[in-house]
Structure formats: structure tokens, C-alpha cells
């Protein structure tokens, strides 16, 4: 039997909820990670709650000495609470001040904790602001179609920030449920080779193509086989932002049911009657079936 505090944690992976059991609860070991990954409203809510709790705790300590605070107003707990706030923030209005050794010791401890907490909160806030966040968006539905006489899996991504991502790299992987000759069940990762894995200047959109030939793990697979094996696809794109020089990374997970067979992407780029080129990112998710005649002739192998 496992020891220590345990809980069931729900982890979302590619739209699937995975229930993790017997996970040791070690919040204190990873506070920084929690602070970096929680939302901004929740982050400041936690800081505000800690601020209130800490001042209430010190207010109770000050109350243990009924005469420790000179000119305490209002009398009682709330006067001690307001004095704690002033001390923690090192404001020092001068109206209320410690007048006993005990109150001086408590206020000294509070000032030390206030300085340390201010430094920690400032550091985490700066880290959250400086954390690079990519604005790479992905089409929700990959397509499988014929391309230059070959069956191809196609995916599309766009750089919504409109700044240049230099030396962008893309990687595509497929996850399949497999069973070994010994009967061992496992979920195995397969690399899917892209026609072009490197983009020197990723500015607008990028269509990524994997050719399904005899060297591809997808060869001779149809939608029923992919569903049976519970196939999933992981597309990762990384590169350096030209302005900030920070590494930008983004990842998207597709399920086998997201694939649209014998469909094609609608082009994002078009030219108006005046000869001006336009890119419409509202068409990023736009796909449509191939023509009926084309579909009959371009049925993917498998």
C-alpha cells in the first residue's frame, strides 16, 4: 500500500481525460510550476488570499500582547490587522507603532517576511511576463488526399502574431495502440517524415505534408484501422522570434476522428480585382471535399 497523501488527478491529453491514481501530493515541491502555469486572475487571487491570511495571522500574534501597539485604532483585532498591513508593506505611517519588546520582535519578523514575499512575488510576476508564448494556431482537421499522384496527410498552421519566426522546425508523430508478439500492450510513438521540416521564415501560414508511401507507418491504413488502434497525432513547431530572440514552441494533438479523407484546405491567400494580395486567417479551418470525380479517382490507398 502506498504511503503519504494521495489523490486522483485528471490530466487532459489531446482531448482525452486521463485519471492519474496514487499520485503523491507534493505542492511544496513544485510551487514555482503552479505559479507559472495558473491563469493570471487565479495567480493574483492566490496572492491576495495569502496577503489576507498572513496579515490575519500576525494580527492574532499582536493581540497576544494587549498593550504591544501604541495608539492602536480601532481597538481589538481590526486595529492589529491594519497595523500588520502597514508593517508588512513597510509603510510606517507613524500613528501606530510597537511599544513593547514582544511587539517589536513580531514586527521585525513580519518586516522580514514582507521583504522576502515581495521579492518572490516580483520575481514570479516578472517570469510570467517574460515567459515566451507563441501565437501559432493550427487547423483542427488534417486532410488526407492525393497530391502529385501520391497519398498525402496534410496539416496547416499559421503564425497569428505576424512577426517572423526564424528557423522554424516542425515534427510530426503518431501514437498507436500496439501489441507485441508476447502479448504486451503498449502505446507506441512513430515518427512521420514531413516533406519540409524546416521553414527559414515562418510568417503567415505553413502547410505540412507527410507522404503516405511504403515507408510510412500509415501505409495501407484506412479510417477504420486508425480508429481500432486509437491513433493520435502530435504536431510540434518551434523557432526563434525575430524580435525578442526567444525560442517559441507550440504543440497540437489531433485524434484519428479529426482527419478528413478526400478533402482539401481552402487557400488562405487570394488576389483581389486590383491585384492586391490578401491573407484571410478566418479560412484557416476551412476545408471542403474534393470533386466527386476526383474523389473516385483519388481514394487513398488503405
Count CA atoms closer than 13 A to 225's CA, side-chain side.
9
List, in sequence order, the alpha helices (H) in 40-188: 40-63, 77-88, 101-130
Inter-residue contact 229 to 108 (CB < 8 Å): no
In angstroms, rounded to a whole number, what is the distance separating the alpha carbons of residues 162 and 295?
Answer: 35
**Residue 297 CB contacts under 8 Å (≥ 6 apart), including other chains:** 146
In angstroms, rounded to a whole number, what is the distance separating the alpha carbons of residues 287 and 160?
Answer: 19
18-27, 155-164, 240-249, 259-268 — which one is most confidently predicted on average? Answer: 259-268
**Does position 292 have pLDDT exceeding 50, yes or no?**
no
- Per domain, the residue ranges of the chain are 6-130, 136-297
Cell of 79: 486595529
In angstroms, rounded to a whole number, what is the distance separating the alpha carbons of residues 154 and 294?
Answer: 17
Contacts 24+ apart (CB under 8 A), 244-251: 244/132, 246/132, 247/132, 248/132, 248/133, 248/134, 248/136, 248/165, 249/134, 250/134, 250/136, 250/138, 250/157
| Pairing relationship of beta strands 165-179 and 198-202 according to DSSP bridges | antiparallel
Read off the pTM: 0.66
CATH architecture of 6-130: Orthogonal Bundle (1.10)
**Does position 297 have pLDDT exceeding 60, yes or no?**
no
Class of domain 136-297: mainly beta
Cis previous bond, 122, omega within 30: no
pLDDT, one tens digit per residue, over 116-136 is 998 999 998 888 887 777 788
Question: Do the first three CATH levels of 6-130 and 136-297 match, i.e. the same topology?
Answer: no
What local confidence, expressed as pLDDT, does residue 9 receive? 67
Amino acid at each position: 500500500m502506498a504511503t503519504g497523501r494521495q489523490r486522483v488527478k485528471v490530466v487532459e491529453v489531446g482531448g482525452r481525460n486521463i485519471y492519474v491514481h496514487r499520485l503523491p501530493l507534493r505542492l511544496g515541491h513544485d510551487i514555482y510550476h503552479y505559479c507559472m502555469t495558473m491563469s493570471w486572475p487565479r495567480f493574483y487571487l492566490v496572492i491576495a488570499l495569502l496577503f489576507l491570511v498572513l496579515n490575519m495571522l500576525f494580527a492574532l500574534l499582536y493581540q497576544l500582547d494587549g498593550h504591544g501597539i501604541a495608539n492602536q485604532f480601532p481597538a481589538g483585532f481590526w486595529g492589529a490587522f491594519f497595523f500588520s498591513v502597514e508593517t508588512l508593506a513597510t509603510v510606517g505611517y507613524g500613528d501606530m507603532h510597537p511599544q513593547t519588546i514582544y511587539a517589536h520582535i513580531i514586527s521585525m519578523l513580519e518586516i522580514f517576511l514582507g521583504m522576502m514575499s515581495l521579492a518572490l512575488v516580483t520575481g514570479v510576476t516578472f517570469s510570467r511576463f517574460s515567459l515566451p508564448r507563441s501565437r501559432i494556431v493550427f487547423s483542427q482537421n488534417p486532410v488526407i488526399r492525393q497530391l502529385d499522384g501520391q497519398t498525402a496527410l496534410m496539416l496547416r498552421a499559421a503564425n497569428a502574431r505576424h512577426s517572423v519566426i526564424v528557423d522554424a522546425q516542425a515534427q510530426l508523430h503518431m501514437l498507436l495502440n500496439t501489441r507485441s508478439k508476447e502479448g504486451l500492450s503498449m502505446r507506441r510513438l512513430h515518427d512521420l517524415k514531413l516533406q519540409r521540416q524546416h521553414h527559414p521564415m515562418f510568417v503567415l501560414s505553413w502547410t505540412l505534408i507527410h507522404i503516405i508511401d511504403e515507408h510510412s507507418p500509415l501505409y495501407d491504413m484506412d479510417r477504420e484501422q486508425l480508429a481500432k488502434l486509437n491513433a493520435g497525432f502530435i504536431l510540434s513547431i518551434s523557432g526563434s522570434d525575430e524580435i525578442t530572440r526567444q525560442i517559441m514552441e507550440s504543440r497540437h494533438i489531433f485524434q484519428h476522428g479529426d482527419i478528413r479523407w478526400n478533402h482539401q484546405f481552402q487557400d488562405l491567400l487570394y488576389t483581389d480585382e486590383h491585384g492586391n494580395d490578401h491573407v484571410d486567417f478566418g479560412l484557416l479551418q476551412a476545408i471542403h471535399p474534393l470533386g466527386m470525380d476526383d474523389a473516385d479517382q483519388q481514394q487513398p490507398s488503405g
